[in-house]
Amino acid sequence: DQEMALHGREVIHTLTAAGHEAYWVGGCVRDELLGRAIHDMDLTTSAEPEQVIALFPHVIPTGIQHGTVTVMQGGHAFEVTTFRTESGYADHRRPTEVAFVKDIREDLMRRDFTMNAIAMAEHGERVDPFGGEADLRAALVRCVGRAEERFEEDGLRMLRCIRFASVFRFRVAFNTWKGMIRRREGLRYIAMERVRVELEKMLAGPDPLRGLEMLGRSGLLGCTKVPVPWEQCEAQALKGIVQLQEELRWGLLLMSCRLTSVVADELLRAWTFSNAVRLRLVHLLEWETELIYSTSVIAGDSVTEESDIINDEALRRSWIRLLIRLGKDTASDWLDLYNTLPASFRGLPPWVEKHVAKTAEMASLWTKQAVVVRIKDLNITGNELVQAMNRPGGPWLGQMMEQLLQAVACGDIPNETETLLQEAKRVMSSE
Ligand code: ATP
Ligand code: MG
C-alpha cells in the first residue's frame, strides 16, 4: 500500500514536472481521508492522453476515447484520466459525450458525491469545491449538484449512494434522499450486472442490514430491471448476517424471502451471478427444502418422546442421503446458515427443533464421519461388479452402486472391496 502510494506520487510528479496538473482523485482520496485501506488509485490530469503516453514507458490505452490510460509504474497500475466533462445521458446510464477540459473543478463537477469529488495534489493539497471533507466528517452522502438531475443522468448512482451509506455507516443528506425517491424508476435502465456489483459490495460490508433497510425504505429494490422480491423478506431472519461469509449472505437473503430453489435459480441467473455462485446458493436452498421435507416424512403425524432415538437415526440417514446428493460443501454452508438463524425462523419441525443445539452439532459430526459420499470413493468399480456378478451392465449397476454408497456412507458396512462384493451378492439374491 505504502509502496503503491510512492509509485503513484512518482506518476503525479512526472506529470507535474512536465508542466501539467495532476491529482489523486475519487475513491482513493476519500478512503485515505477516512483512514481506510486503499485498493486502487485513480489519477486525474490536465494532460491529454497522447501527452501522458509520451511521458511514461509503459502505458496501456485502456479507455483512450474517454481520456483514460493505464500507466504502469513500479509494477502497479494507475488509471490516469484527463480532466473531462460528461454530457448527454440519454439512456440514464452512460454519457454519450465526453469533452476534455482545463479546469479540475469542471472534472470534479461530473462526479457523483461530494466525498468522491475531492482531488489531492502531490504534497497533499486538496481541491474540494463541494465540501467533500466536511461531509466526510459529518458522515453524509451528498450528491454533487442537484440530486434529482444527477440520479436522472445515471440511475446507478442511487445504488452507489446506498452502498456508501451502508459500508461507511453514513446517513444520506436529505435532498439526496428525496431526489433518489423521485428518480427511483430510473434504476430500470441499469444492467443487472452493475446492480449486482453494487449490492455485492453493500452485502459484503460491515453493516449490510443498514443498506437493506435503506433499499427497502426507498423502494429501490422494486425498481431494478429484475425486481427483487423484497416484500417477502422476513427481516428478523437476517439478524446474524454479518457472521456469514460474503456469498452465503446472499443465501440467507434468499432464504429469508422463502424462495424455492427453482425461483432462486431463475433470479440468480437474471442477476448475472457466476455459475459457481449460483449453484452454490441453489444447492443450499435445495438442502433446506429437502431436509424439511425428509424430517416431516420421518416425523409423520405423531411423534412421542420415546421415538427420539428412532428419529435421530432416521434424521442421520436422511442427512447422509443429502450429503451424497449435494455434497459436503453444501452441508457446511447450510450449517453455517442454520447457526445464524433465530429459532423462530428455522423451518424444521418441532421434534427436530427440540434438539436445536444438538442438531447442528450432530449434523456436523455426521458430515465428518461420512468420509465416503461419492461413488468414485467406493473401493469397487462398476467393472469389478459386472465381472463378479457375471452379469452384463445395465440399470441395475447404477442402482447397486448407489445402494452400496448409501450403506458405506451410513457406516453400515466398511468400504472394503470384499465386503462390498458380498453385500452386492446379498442384495441381488434377496431380490
Ligand atoms: P470503490 O471503493 O468501489 O472503488 P469508488 O468511488 O472509487 O469506490 P469507482 O467506481 O472506482 O468508485 O469510481 C471512481 C470515481 O469515479 C468515484 O470516486 C467518482 O468520483 C467517479 N464515479 C464513479 N462512478 C460514478 C458515477 N456513476 N457517476 C459519477 N461519478 C462516478
Ligand atoms: Mg475505485
**How far does the centroid of ligand 1 lie from the alpha carbon of residue 113, in Å?**
9
The ligand 1 site (C-beta within 6 Å) comprises 26-27, 42, 111-112, 116-117, 154, 156-157
CA dist 404 → 315, 366, 398 (Å): 19, 18, 10
Measured by CA distance, the residue closest to atom 15 of ligand 1 is 26
**How far does the centroid of ligand 2 lie from the alpha carbon of residue 93, in Å?**
18
Which ligand lies nearest the alpha carbon of 160? 1
Which ligand lies nearest the alpha carbon of 95? 1
Measured by CA distance, the residue closest to atom 25 of ligand 1 is 112
Index of the ligand 1 atom closest to the CA of residue 201: 3
Does CATH place domain 375-430 in 3.40.50? no
pLDDT confidence of residue 309:
64
pLDDT confidence of residue 307:
62
Per-position pLDDT tens, the chain of length 431: 789 999 999 999 999 999 999 999 999 999 999 999 998 999 999 999 999 999 999 999 999 989 999 999 999 999 999 999 988 777 777 787 889 999 999 999 999 999 999 999 999 999 999 999 999 999 999 999 999 999 999 999 999 999 999 999 999 999 999 999 999 999 999 999 999 999 999 999 999 999 999 999 999 988 999 887 777 788 888 999 999 999 999 999 999 888 889 999 999 999 999 999 999 999 999 998 888 888 777 766 555 555 666 677 888 888 889 999 999 899 999 989 988 988 777 766 666 666 545 667 777 878 887 778 899 999 999 999 999 999 998 999 999 999 999 999 998 999 999 999 999 999 988 87
Angle at which helices 308-326 and 395-409 pack, to 10 degrees? 130
Q: Which residue has the cell 491529454?
A: 48
Q: Which three cell numbers stand for residue 144?
A: 454533487
Q: Which three cell numbers stand for residue 257?
A: 424471502
Kind of pairing, strands 68-73 and 76-82? antiparallel
Look at the domain 1-138 and name its fold.
Beta Polymerase; domain 2 (3.30.460)
**Dihedral-angle region of residue 244 (phi above 0 means left; psi in -120 to 50 means alpha; beta otherwise):** beta
pLDDT confidence of residue 317:
86
**How far does the centroid of ligand 2 lie from the alpha carbon of residue 116, in Å?**
10
Q: Which residue has the cell 493505464?
A: 70
Index of the ligand 1 atom closest to the CA of residue 157: 27
Measured by CA distance, the residue closest to atom 1 of ligand 1 is 27
Q: Which residue has the cell 475513491?
A: 27
Candidate from 79, 112, 164, 168 with most ligand 1 atoms within 8 A of CB, to mutate? 112
Residues 85 and 98 sit within 8 Å (Cβ to Cβ): yes
The domain 145-228 is classified under which CATH number: 1.20.1090.10, 1.10.110.30, 2.60.40.1120, 3.40.50.12280? 1.10.110.30
CB-based burial, 102-121: b 16+ in 10 Å, e otherwise: eebeebbbbbbbbbbbbbbe
Index of the ligand 1 atom closest to the CA of residue 40: 4
Q: 292-314: per-residue pLDDT in tens? A: 888 777 766 555 555 666 677 88
**How far does the centroid of ligand 1 lie from the alpha carbon of residue 46, in Å?**
19
Q: Could you tell me which residues come within 8 angstroms of residue 85 by beta carbon, excluding any fewer than 6 positions away?
A: 98, 99, 101, 106, 107, 109, 110
Q: Count H helices, E strands: the chain?
A: 20, 11
Measured by CA distance, the residue closest to atom 4 of ligand 1 is 27
For residue 70, which phi and psi values (nearest 5 degrees)? -105, 120
pTM score, two decimals? 0.89
Q: Which three cell numbers stand for residue 367?
A: 458430515
Give Cα 363 distance to the centre of its chain.
26
Q: Is the ipTM of this complex over 0.95?
A: yes
Q: Which of 244, 262, 264, 245 is nearest to 254 (CA)?
A: 264
pLDDT confidence of residue 303:
54
Measured by CA distance, the residue closest to atom 12 of ligand 1 is 27
Helix (H) or strand (E) holding 252: helix 246-256
Taking the domains of the chain in order of start, what are their residue ranges? 1-138, 145-228, 294-369, 375-430
Beta bridge partners of 23: 44
Q: Which of 92, 136, 130 is nearest to 111 (CA)?
A: 130
Rounded to whole angstroms, the Cα distance separating 47 from 405 reads 68
